[in-house]
Amino acid sequence: MPGLYLHIPFCKQACHYCDFHFSTSMGLKGQFVEALIKEMALRRTYLPDPSALLETIYFGGGTPSLLTAEELTQIFDAIQTNFEVSPQAEITLEANPDDLTADKLAVLAASPVNRLSIGLQSFHEPHLRLMNRAHSALESSQAVRRAQAAGFENISVDLIYGVPAAGHGIWEEDLGQLFDLRVPHVSAYALTIEPDTAFGRRLKKGTFVAPPEEFVAQQFEILLTQLRAHGYEQYEISNFCQPGRESRHNSNYWRGVPYLGLGPSAHSFDGRSRQYAVANNPQYVAAVLERGEVPATTEVLSPLDQANEYLLTTLRTSRGCDLRHLRDALGLNLLADRTEYLGSLLTQGMATLTDDTLRLTDAGKLLADHITLELFAEAPSAVSA
């Protein structure tokens, strides 16, 4: 069933690793909410079946926890006006720990939000300062406990590994504090240095040194070992949960379920094409409010694009890539075209192949991007009848 994504493009300050679209200026926040609500009306028929119930709603950013009670109410009223929402919908809001005061949590608990995704990133104060996070190490754990006390049981937390350090002790301590919190879902990402970020610019100047790939790989392996020992399942390369506690919204992305994205820089997918909204707050607000237009670019997906996307998303998941579906529905016959490469993956212990379903092993997950590129580098061959 379809989902709704809302991009809230405002942050208190810029984290040094972040290359998502956001602004630290709140001057347009009120007009943005007005534009977001108007965009809902403009795009209410975007999804293939506009009458289908929304099964997931996701507030991402940016920092959605910067929304006020009044702004949240306005947005939810507009969602109810323009869409049919399932009574069992998963409704997630990303939040920073410093925003989760008792008052803010009371506002969120009184709203339709039923799942929080809290961006902890670390429990280690020097690492938080290095990344230019707005919260303290103490607030990392306090925010989760406050959320639990406010009635939120469905909580996900974000952690970042591969932060430069003398050894793995800090990462192991971070994981220990995570387990003490007993949250059902964890998203863990390797620190990635993107060019147009503070870290990227410092790397270019030589004032920041990224850790060796081997160091990052070792921390990933520690992550896998520790989370499994505490009962978490890795259902996607960066996502772990207690049994049955997957993110329904993100899982639908990886399954190719259509979704509507609202707000500047948001992406949408209708099953055949993608849309990309302009990543500029003033341009977005002006286009929607003044001209009644959504400033977005549409990309129609070719059969090869669809096959490549299926490979890219499914290989990251524990479900794996159904090679028969890839052949019969999308026209890419890897079993015939890439027999030798698939064989090498199996021989090297990078993947398993069971009932024509290709899954990456732990070793393969470390090279997931490389393996995926190798597999969809070839043009699809015709499939004989």
Question: For 213-271, what is each residue's pLDDT tens digit?
Answer: 999 999 999 999 999 999 999 999 999 999 999 999 999 999 999 999 999 999 999 99
**Residue 383, pLDDT score:** 42
Per-position DSSP letters for 22-46, written without gaps between them: -BS--TTHHHHHHHHHHHHHHTTT-
pLDDT band at 380 (very low <50, low <70, confident <90, very high): very low
pTM for the predicted model, two decimal places: 0.94
In this prediction, residue 1 carries a pLDDT of 76
384 has a pLDDT exceeding 70: no
Enumerate the H helices of the chain as residue ranges.
29-42, 69-82, 102-109, 125-130, 137-149, 169-181, 198-205, 213-229, 248-254, 281-291, 303-314, 323-328, 334-337, 339-347, 362-365, 368-376
What domains appear along the chain, each with residue ranges and CATH number? 3-254 (3.80.30.20), 303-376 (1.10.10.920)
Name the region of 56 (left: φ>0; alpha: ψ -120 to 50; beta: rest): beta
Label residue 8 exposed, middle or buried (CB < 10 Å: 0-12, 13-18, 19+): buried
The string of pLDDT tens digits covering residues 98-117 is: 999 999 999 999 999 999 99
Q: What is the percent of the chain with per-residue pLDDT over 70, rounded to a whole number?
A: 98
What's the angle, vertex CA 38, arms to CA 32 and CA 41, rounded to 5?
150
CB 164 within 8 A of CB 193: no
Check pLDDT > 60 for residue 207. yes
Q: Say how far apart CA 121 and CA 261 lie, in whole Å.
A: 25
Q: CA-CA distance, 200 to 207, in Å (whole number)?
A: 10
H helices present in 83-118, as ranges? 102-109
**What strands, in cross-sheet order, belong to the sheet with 273-277?**
233-236, 239-241, 185-190, 155-161, 115-121, 85-95, 54-61, 3-8, 259-262, 267-269, 273-277, 296-300
pLDDT in tens, 47-106: 998 889 999 999 999 999 999 999 999 999 999 999 999 999 999 999 999 999 999 999
Read off the pLDDT of residues 321-337 as tens digits, 9 standing for 90 and up: 999 999 999 989 999 99
For 264-290, the pLDDT digits (tens) are 999 999 999 999 999 999 999 999 999
Residues 128-140: pLDDT tens digits?
A: 999 999 999 999 9
